Copies of this chain bind each other. A is one copy, B any other.
Amino acid sequence: MSKKIHAKRGGFTLPAQAGMDDIVLDLAKRWGADAFRDSDGTVLSDSIMELGWDIYSTICLIRADQKWNSSHPEDCQQKYLYSAPQAAREATIKIDIMARYSNEQFKIDEVHDCKKYWEVVNRTTGQIVPVSDWDYADGIVTVNNCAKWNIYVVNFLVYQIWETTSMYNHITNNWDRPHQSGIDPRKPETRKHIARFLDKWLATHPNTDWVRFTSMAYQFPIITNQKHQTLYQDWYGYLDCMSAQALDEFEEKKGYRLSPNDIVENGYFNSTDRVPTRAYLDWIEFVHEFLVEFSGDCVKQVHDAGKKAIMFYCDHHIGTEPYKPKFQQIGFDGIVGPCINGREVRRIADIPGELVKELRLYPYFFPVNLTNEPSFKEGGDPVGECKRYWMWIRRAMLRRLVHRIGYGGYLDLAVKFPEFIDYVEAQSKEYYKITENTNFTPVENAPFKVAILNAWGKARSWGFDQSWPLGGITESLSGLPFDIEWLSFDDIRENGIAKDIGVIINMGVAGTSWSGGHHWKDPRIITAIRQWVDAGGGFLGVIDPAASEHGGAYYQLWDILGVQKEIGLSNGCRKVIPTDITKGHFIAADLAGTNPSLGKHVQKIYPCLESTQIIAKDDEGSVTIAANDYGKGRGVYLAGFELGSEQNRLLQRAIWYAAGREDEMTQKWFSSNIETEIAGFPRTGKYIVINNSYEPQTTTITDRDGNEKTVWLEANASKWFDFDGNEI
């Protein structure tokens, strides 16, 4: 066996496949691959594995031994579901609790005492029905003594008999194989078995260098119905980590018992868009603590076998929480994330700790893409897809670089598209050039930090997801020249606002975790931000900032933002302040008009202070961009956001302006043409200019010392220069 490379920084992971050795070797050369991986449904040939390159082998512990799983149905993974809400037409009603769910995916838990673990809820009154008033038999809950015409729901436990990733791959590829189940490592016997299984697996995979855990135990929830339609999905959702045992252990550990509705949450399932409750945050922490312990044990086994452990940050990632401090205790050597855009670059790249960080780029080598359109099949355009994603990804990488890239899926599909093979060759070369010219050293960003404030903070870094895959403002921020922090309301309550933060951004729809909901009624939050802005901070509100109807105000920080929203409750209060556009405003300097597209922006926004500067408004006169001075600080408001070059620049300007440092924006590392961007790396003395557009562009850049220079770029191209301005 040759010496192992152990996944060099600046490398490429290629999804190989048995029976394609020549092609694999050719591609390895063209794409610069230094590691090979299998995928769900593929295996590597012995010949490839013995070549001496790094071998990644995927393992999904919870479904790896279907034989064990089948013989231990009581250890199958569980979940709370709720029956379709039903109005009581009579005093006694019968509820077919599984009616809205897939029988292939779920099976009612008839093992545990339903009177202990289930709950019948009167959703009209919010009351729990006494257990003496209902009974369960044969899939039906019969509820007696109903209040007529009230809505009743059963929150009940199921076993998930078809594991989610297996189900997704199965359905997407029209497989005709047995359904796989997922087992719960919280169960003592199963946990012991998994440990034994992993040891055996390690022993029987001598060529494997990297154990690629896909992932650890609990999948983010995808709940389907009989038609295989997804009823519910939440990438961060803590639903699939449930079991009767976990509930009991939670009670022991936290001192109180979760009710089923703490998890079902009247059908919202504690979606990440919801402002999290204390109970749900406790549940997350409880599951995380288990996962840290369990994953730590697995990683130790891997290390003891002389191999390295890398986690796929998707699928069964729930509980691992890479942004929480305890994640570091697990001891992973690397982490790999699927990546379609800049936000997903940053979600991996910004993870704390000395891990090898790798991106599995899109398109996945699958017949269809994630939105179920043709990809690697007739009618597909994998090159177009790949290039579009790369334009989003490249600019984010220049702000925070990952160590490796790669692809996944079925190579036999990809090789049918030779132009795609060519494109990936060019793409990987561009990536290698970035790694070489930056040597993973920091880019020079603005001299202040930008904090994004929401109800989740760091734990959901880059998790704000208005409209995947493109997203909105976070996508833009992923490639802008600012250091980004994620801040929760608890962070402010506990630690105040750090001195190095120049601008706080609060963005999102009113009432969501992103905007913050009831947190804005807390005087501690409001006063901390007022005081901080007054002393010179900048507050940038997007969509519905600080939104929570309270004390006669809807946007609680109207006095900073200078605008307010009419939600129909104060029509009698006339909006008397004129909405004349402030001419020549710094923020508007690169806008083509006074009504830039901000996507589906919110409306009925009006100035509420004479001091408000109106920068843009829509056709109906609703303010879309505004700014306001507040003491030594500033507020800036954007009624929406849409990704685009004009909007990127708008956001860049809005941030510099909010920080009160707008004079500095063009002093260094500035590119005049909004279709282009520049990034400088002082430690290597090199900078890059990129063209995000599909047309050639000419731009005047300002370098580190304030010198200007004209740069011409082909469509989509990039150019590197040394600090003397010589192209390299």
Closest to A529 in B: B149
- A residues adjacent to B (C-beta < 8 A): 85, 87, 89, 123-126, 147-151, 153, 225, 227, 229-234, 237, 265-269, 271-274, 508-512, 523, 526-528, 530-531, 534, 549-553, 559, 567-574, 576, 631
How many Å from the CB of A156 to the closest CB on chain B? Answer: 16
Task: Select A124's contact among B273, B523, B576, beta carbons within 8 Å.
Answer: B523
How near does chain B come to A493, taking the closest CB pair, in angstroms?
15
- The distance in angstroms between the C-alpha atoms of A151 and B549, with both chains bound, is 14
Additional A-B contacts beyond A85-B559, A271-B571, A509-B567 (16; CB < 8 A): A89-B631, A123-B551, A124-B551, A126-B550, A126-B551, A149-B526, A149-B528, A153-B552, A267-B570, A269-B573, A273-B570, A508-B568, A509-B568, A511-B549, A511-B567, A512-B568
Please give, as numbers and ranges, the residues of chain B lying within 8 Å of A523 by CB-CB distance.
124-125, 147, 150
| CB <8 Å contact, B510 and A123 | no
Rounded to whole angstroms, the CA-CA distance of A10 and B509 in the bound complex is 56
Closest to A275 in B: B569
Q: Which residues of B contact A508 (CB under 8 A)?
A: 568
Given A149-B526, A527-B149, A559-B87, does the pair A273, B569 have CB atoms closer than 8 Å? Answer: yes
What would 20 A/B residue contacts be, using CB atoms closer than 8 Å? Answer: A89-B631, A123-B551, A124-B527, A126-B551, A147-B527, A149-B528, A150-B523, A153-B552, A230-B576, A231-B574, A231-B576, A233-B574, A266-B552, A268-B570, A271-B571, A271-B573, A273-B572, A274-B569, A509-B568, A511-B549
Q: Which of B232, B273, B530, B549 contacts A149, CB < 8 Å?
A: B530
| Contact status A551-B266, CB under 8 Å | yes
Q: What is the interface of chain A mostly: helix, strand, loop, or mixed?
A: loop
CB distance from A577 to the nearest CB of B (A): 9
Tell me which residues across on chain B come within 8 A of A551, comparing CB atoms. Answer: 123-124, 126, 151, 266
Complex-state Cα separation, A36 to B356, whole angstroms: 93
A574 touches B232 (CB 8 A): yes
Q: Knowing A527-B124, A527-B149, A567-B511, say if A232 contacts B268 (CB, 8 Å).
A: no
Q: Are A572 and B123 in contact (CB under 8 A)?
A: no
Contacts of A512 in B (CB 8 A): 568-569
Contacts of A227 in B (CB 8 A): 576
Contacting pair B552 A510 (CB below 8 A):
no
Smallest beta-carbon distance A607→chain B, Å = 13
Q: Is the CB of B527 within 8 A of A572?
A: no
Complex Cα spacing A631 to B512, Å: 35
Let me know if A569 and B511 touch, CB within 8 A: yes
A550: which B residues are within 8 A, CB to CB? 126
Residues of B with C-beta under 8 A to A85: 552-553, 559
- Give complex CA distance A148, B631 in Å: 14
Q: Are A233 and B572 touching (Cβ within 8 A)?
A: yes
> What CA separation (Å) do A552 and B125 show in the bound complex?
12
Give bound CA distance, A282 to B370, whole Å: 59
CB contact under 8 A between A572 and B237, given known A123-B551, A523-B124: yes
> Which residues of B have CB within 8 Å of A225?
576
Q: Give every chain B residue within 8 A of A230 (Cβ-Cβ).
A: 574, 576
Closest-CB distance, A523 to chain B (whole angstroms):
5
In the bound complex, CA of A36 to CA of B528 (Å): 66
Q: Is B273 within 8 A of A568, CB to CB?
A: yes
Q: Which one, B148, B233, B267, B549, contacts A531 given CB within 8 A?
A: B148
Complex Cα–Cα for A572 and B128 (A):
25
**Docked CA distance A89–B632 (Å):** 13
